[in-house]
Chain A
Amino acid sequence: MKRALTVMLVLALASLSLFAMGGSDKASADAGNGYKDTISVAIGADVTSFDPHVGKETPAVAVTNHIYDTLVNVDPETDEVVPQIAESWEVVSDTEYRFHIRQGLKFHNGEDLTADDVKYSLDRAIASPAVSYIVDFIDEVVVEDDYTVLVTLDAPYAPALRNLAVPFAAIVPKDYTSANEDILRTAPVGTGPYKFQEWSQNDHTTLVANDEYYAGAPATKYIEFRVVPEAAQRTIALETGEVDLAYDPLTADKQRIEENDELKLYSAPSLTCYYLSMNMNKAPFDNKLVRQAISHAIDRQLIVDTLYMGAGQAADDLIAPAVFGYYGCGVDEYDPELSKQLLAEAGYPNGFSCSIWVNNNQERVEVCQVIQAMLGEVGIQCKLEVMEFGTFISRTTAGEHDMGYFGWVTSTKDGDYTYYSLEHSTQQGAAGNRTFVNDPEVDRLVEIGRSSTDESVRLEAYKELSIYLKDLANNANILYTEISAGAGANVEDFVLDPIGYHELQTVKVKSSR
């Protein structure tokens, strides 16, 4: 028995050390210039669909935005609209945009990109239930010649160009895709800086550089996106050098990344804002003083510092700082005394009872519990009701709530997307306006922002709107979440995009840290 045990132990140790001597697991080789030939990226979830008009979740787009291009693009650093597939465009009128398509562009399968592909792609996106909300401002796409398309709009729509830059408006090859509408799901073909090479579900996706890319070949030959669902493991993989970039590290791990000399942490406020909508159709929320009192009773910074462990930012506007149109009118001050005073002025010196509704998401529920306690301090007794997402949405759409806690992502990076949906009187209920605000001044400013093609006019309108809404206090804006990524110190030229899908074609990784 003893001998058998000894033999087993020795064998086990021997085999352990044999494997262990295999060395580290840095997947990529040196490309010969002191840089790696592969960027390894750990992402939290797998691509659901490689079809850009279907797979719209951030982990999917983080991969597919390297495969596809859009007519125009928004520079993540300058936030300006820049040419991509369209080398130039003219604003013919308020409702007509003419795009001149870059000649000589080829899809990864060798097909030429022409105006027909553009029309086919935009029509396809409009017909897709998953992404149509990004492009449904388009009335018609007219092919004028092989390299010119005219996009006509239903009504003047200023953010049109920014919407066309959203990755869901990707241009796909007509012949290839129309032959089999499902083919892009697993065999994507685009014109982007990287070509699709391999997908192993729940494991990894490999992309290979498109050397004929119009803006020049990418800096690194391959990108390997590895699916690592456990956030703590993404950080460990980054620390061991198994990956070069790790998206969305745990809040608790961020400090570890920052303290490690071999690693860098990138973070910025995301495009997501969480806010408490007060139903203006119901008393006492029809009273501005009550709404202001509620806003002043909430200590947003405390929520960010405790529940989010600092990974976020107290919100002032409904749109995040990285969004076009953000003004920043200042976070409503936490002042329980002022709050009580406002309540007394409104005729509720002893407060009142009401309810907060939220969907069954742990993080959101916790925020609401804190808000519930804070409102209790000024005499507002809130009942917290947690419901399933579908029920939450349908009942708040019907306006049955007193207050509801919502999150909204300005996925076009343009203020109109949020202000129009959440504040315009025509968008009450399902479309997003769940405070049921119906204010001519709000509508006027939202409409200027929506229809003017002059960016300075739009910015001025959004500034006025931001100040007006702060006073109106129909939504108590709570916080912006944070977006972050960890990288090895040897990673060069990585730019964190607040939207969550970062472009890696310029990124290089030195062979040693």
Chain B
Amino acid sequence: MWKYILKRLLMMIPVLLGVTFIVFFIMSMTPGDPAAIILGDQATPEAIAQLREELRLNDPLLLRYVQYIVDMLHGDFGESYKNGISVASQVLDKFPNTAILAIAGILVALAIGIPVGIISARKQYSALDNVSMVFSLIGVSMPVFWLGLLLSLLFALKLGWFPSQGMGKGFLPLLRSLVLPAITLGTGSAATVARMTRSSMLEVIRQDYISTARAKGLAEKVITKRHMFRNALIPIVTAVGLQFGHLLGGAMLTETVFSWPGLGRLMIDSLNSKDIPMVLGSVLFMTIMFSFVNLAVDIVYAFIDPRIRSLYKKAGFRKRRAIAA
């Protein structure tokens, strides 16, 4: 197991290098001079030239890339072009906010998606199933900024229950400010989770062991919980993991609509101002987070499915035997 985790961690290195390479070159080759963008409409050519020199934008592209990688290996992710503050500190400063929102969002998604998916599967083609699936289709396709504004109009402006924007300070204010963005963020994921749960449950429902369980005279509740849901869980965990990875990467629209000071906003601002080190740093961090979530999902498989657990063990056993031989 540990070896497997180590291997997966090592595999992240080429992935990260690839990501930095692609982002660096896309950012550098797309039109728009960062110095001109920073200095704005009325900058003189001399000022732009001076800033280009300060930002070392006149160096050859490849040299700048190699320098970036060397610095990165020394733990230096550079400084933002725009405000001169260290990229690492800005990313780490904003990540907890995004994590809070992502966790709340995924909880909303699970709380809505899993029960809806289970009920739909159990009552396939019933009115309830059709209604749930239509709603989940709406959930998947609804633009986030629109949903966010509607929720704000209703719950903040008309009813005055929750703040319309911002991140509250202190535990209760934080929870209150979290409700609307979490629902906005969770709705799309909830729909995905519900659809995944439904289809995965439907596959299991037709298995022979379910008929066996029924024949044994087990209660439907027990069959649903122990025999269907547990066996249907693997694809659901995969879907939830992917969703969570996405949310951790910063929910740019939700964060913008609700003025949530997270990674997504940081990223949008940096993209707009062509702040290359900042974009690189945030993308790199998001990639790492995504990889970690994927790894966690793979480990969770072993916990929920004894067959996978035994595979890990067998692999270890075989290796030990090979070494002994």
User: How near does chain B come to A480, taking the closest CB pair, in angstroms?
Assistant: 16
- Which residue of chain A is the closest to B38 with respect to CB atoms? A130
Interface residues on A, range: 35 or more
Contact bitstring B144-165, A, C-beta under 8 A = 1, else 0: 0100010011001101111111
Contact bitstring A404-431, B, C-beta under 8 A = 1, else 0: 0001110100000000000000000011
A236 adjacent to B152 (CB under 8 Å) = yes
- Which residue of chain A is the closest to B257 with respect to CB atoms? A230
Q: Which of A199-207, A341-349, A505-513 has 4 or more CB atoms under 8 Å from chain B?
A: A199-207
Interface residues of B in 24-63 (CB under 8 A from A): 31-33, 36-48, 50-51, 54
Residue B143 lies at the interface, judged by CB distance under 8 Å to chain A: no
- Which residue of chain B is the closest to A60 with respect to CB atoms? B83
CA distance A239 to B93 in the complex (A): 31
Which listed residue (B50, B149, B166) contacts A242, Cβ 8 A?
B166
- Which residue of chain A is the closest to B97 with respect to CB atoms? A203
CA distance A391 to B82 in the complex (A): 22
A185 adjacent to B47 (CB under 8 Å) = no
Query: Which of B48, B153, B221, B261 is most buried by chain A, counting CB atoms within 10 A of its CB?
Result: B261
A residues less than 8 Å from B163 (CB atoms):
25, 240, 242
CA distance A267 to B115 in the complex (A): 51
B84 adjacent to A182 (CB under 8 Å) = yes
A233 adjacent to B162 (CB under 8 Å) = no
B residues less than 8 Å from A301 (CB atoms):
none
B179 adjacent to A19 (CB under 8 Å) = yes
A8 adjacent to B44 (CB under 8 Å) = no
Task: Using known A-B contacts A390-B33, A390-B36, determine if residue A407 contacts B41 with beta carbons closer than 8 Å.
Answer: yes
A residues less than 8 Å from B262 (CB atoms):
202
B residues less than 8 Å from A200 (CB atoms):
261
Task: Using known A-B contacts A236-B157, A390-B32, determine if residue A57 contacts B167 with beta carbons closer than 8 Å.
Answer: no
Residue B199 lies at the interface, judged by CB distance under 8 Å to chain A: no
User: How near does chain B come to A252, taking the closest CB pair, in angstroms?
Assistant: 12
- Which residue of chain A is the closest to B46 with respect to CB atoms? A129
Residue A132 lies at the interface, judged by CB distance under 8 Å to chain B: yes
A201 adjacent to B32 (CB under 8 Å) = no
A residues less than 8 Å from B48 (CB atoms):
129
B residues less than 8 Å from A240 (CB atoms):
156-157, 160, 163-164
Q: Which of B131-139, B170-178, B300-308 has 4 or more CB atoms under 8 Å from chain A?
A: B170-178
Contact bitstring A183-214, B, C-beta under 8 A = 1, else 0: 00110000000000000111110000000000
Residue A227 lies at the interface, judged by CB distance under 8 Å to chain B: yes
Residue B269 lies at the interface, judged by CB distance under 8 Å to chain A: yes
A residues less than 8 Å from B266 (CB atoms):
201-202
Top-6 shortest CB links A-B: A20-B161, A129-B47, A203-B261, A388-B31, A202-B261, A25-B163
Q: A16-B161, A229-B265, A390-B33 provided; 16 other pairs, C-beta below 8 A?
A: A25-B173, A129-B39, A129-B46, A129-B50, A129-B51, A133-B42, A201-B90, A202-B265, A202-B269, A233-B258, A237-B166, A388-B32, A389-B32, A390-B32, A393-B36, A408-B41
